[in-house]
Chains A and B, each alone.
Chain A
């Protein structure tokens, strides 16, 4: 093989592993967010006990305790199930969930020494059609779980969820057609690049600005595809019974991890399609490369300010707290504050360095890449938090309401959106 072939292989692997790892990390983050947001919205404290050497990271460590618990739980294989389907279902849903993020670009093409790297694990020209295909596939896993469990409630739930997901897939596809018409491509990389411009020199040309109705429809449809409240009829944990009642231990955990992985995938796709993906508003890749030093300085200052704010909040909390921890958790405050202090030191070093060092083209390119990755992760993070917040805000729809919303409201609205978009484009052309 030629040298460039090896390079291609290496970088592709690296990109794939990055996106895969990001999905896995976001599973943890989403579970953490779910617990903490739920608690805070309901005026509770949330997880605050599990700790490693006293550090709880605001309850994040509970995830690891949870993982240990789930792994060591007894794995029951009920005698009446269809073993092949029963075991395949969680594996299928998790595989699909981990594949989803592959086509989402997480930074602009990186050009280093005449070698251009698309920052996207899978540079498919079918673009988000791949994601629509994967969502359709994930219905199979629910049906497999329902059928393989060989029990009434999972079967009923599987029927419910397949009807729901098939109905909303149509609205999901339709809501994106308008976007394709505007940006003229289905490739996510192209779509994100097309969102870099400005409308009238002020507003970023994001999907949500040019296709507000499409964005709304897509958001609702993807909530339905994710089986999240207000559309969580397949699971229906509180009264109707979900498709995974017969599952225990790690198999059950896989269903849950897949749900949280899917939240990340949906958020990443929404960010890429409607919120400009890795685009930082008013700051193009070329601009970052040109003014690398001032950009880096600004980022350092912002990071410094953020760390100070977090530290202030922490100190305030530790001082106002009316009790003392009696175990190792009492060293948490000093540990977290010194970590923040270290971060602040690094930020100050960054500010100083931005005056001293003149960054070369490679460093500037890497800086742009890193900033865009951070922008992409930040957007995804906020969207994940939003999805979770919605769960703790809205009650569940009744099944007939669900179907009425899908067929009688979303579908006509999607078609109307298409019509209006087409007309506007036609008029613009002249």
Chain B
């Protein structure tokens, strides 16, 4: 059904347009002067120099967590590898030593493939990984540097 939009009734003053245009220009001049005199109050963030405060649930780059004794919590159970829809994790277990906790010999993340979905974190039964790292500046010119190894992933850095 067609909707008939009622046109607003303009009074003579508004029909001449010139005065309304002048009013519009006063508004823009106001914004101009305000920005000119108070540039520090503009909402723009000057990105590399100023950084945004991240929320606690912000998903940054994956990170491997450590337990109190400083070892990786990961037991190389490969559940995260199975959960990952983008196939970006490569985990290999170290040869088992009787009595000791199993550890990964290799834990590689290909950030170029990661879609930051967080399924790996949910899949891990040991709470060994999280995405709370607050690391998001991952752009690089060399694709080889998108592969993050175990050592790099264990870097500590919490939400800012």
Whether A and B are associated in the same complex: the answer reads yes
Pick the residue among B32, B37, B48 that contacts A313 (CB under 8 A): B37
Q: Name the segment of A67-75, A93-101, A349-357, A388-396 touching the other chain.
A: A388-396
Determine whether the beta carbon of B32 is less than 8 Å from that of A40.
yes
A130→B35 CA distance, assembly (Å)? 40
8 nearest A-B pairs in the assembled complex, by CB-CB distance = A40-B35, A323-B49, A320-B40, A323-B50, A393-B28, A40-B32, A45-B44, A41-B28
Q: Does A399 contact B (CB under 8 A)?
A: no
Q: Is B43 at the interface (CB under 8 A from chain A)? A: yes
Pick the most buried of A39, A45, A320, A389: most chain B CB atoms within 10 A of its CB.
Answer: A45
Determine if A43 and B42 form an interchain contact, defined as CB atoms under 8 angstroms apart. yes
Chain A residues bordering chain B, tally (CB within 8 A): 24
Instruction: Please indicate the chain A residues that have their CB under 8 angstroms from the CB of B31 in the complex.
Output: 40-43
Q: Which residues of A contact B115 (CB under 8 A)?
A: none
A44 to B46, CA, bound (A): 11
* Interchain CA distance A392-B32 in the complex, whole Å: 11
- From residue 365 to 392 of chain A, which have CB atoms closer than 8 A to chain B? 389-390, 392
Q: Considering the chains assembled together, what is the distance between the CA atoms of A272 and B56 in angstroms?
A: 62
- In Å, the complex CA distance between A40 and B50 comes to 20
Segment with Cβ contacts to A, from B18-26, B69-77, B82-90: B18-26
Chain A residue numbers with a CB within 8 Å of B40 are 317, 320-322
Contact across chains for B32 and A37 when beta carbons are under 8 A apart? yes
**Interface Cβ pair total, 8 Å cutoff:** 53
Contact of A41 among B21, B32, B50 (CB under 8 A): B32
Give chain A nearest CB distance to B65 CB in angstroms. Answer: 31
Interface membership of A132, Cβ < 8 A: no
A326 within 8 A of B: yes
* Chain B positions near chain A (C-beta within 8 angstroms): 18, 21, 24-25, 27-29, 31-32, 34-37, 39-40, 42-44, 46, 48-50
Contact with B along A317-350 (1 / 0, CB 8 A): 1001111111000000000000000000000000
What CA separation (Å) do A274 and B27 show in the bound complex? 25
**DSSP class of A's interface residues: helix, strand, loop or mixed?**
loop
Distance between Cα atoms of A317 and B35 in the complex (Å): 11
Q: Does A216 contact B (CB under 8 A)?
A: yes
- Taking CB atoms and an 8 Å cut-off, the chain A residues in 1-55 that contact chain B are 37, 39-45, 48
CA distance A313 to B34 in the complex (A): 13
B32 near A389: Cβ-Cβ < 8 Å: yes
| Cβ contact within 8 Å between B50 and A393 | no
A33 to B: closest C-beta gap in Å: 11
Q: List 29 A-B contacts (CB under 8 A).
A: A37-B32, A39-B35, A40-B32, A40-B35, A41-B31, A41-B32, A42-B31, A43-B42, A44-B42, A44-B44, A45-B39, A45-B42, A45-B44, A45-B46, A48-B46, A320-B40, A321-B40, A322-B40, A322-B50, A323-B46, A323-B50, A324-B49, A389-B25, A389-B28, A389-B32, A390-B25, A393-B21, A393-B24, A394-B24
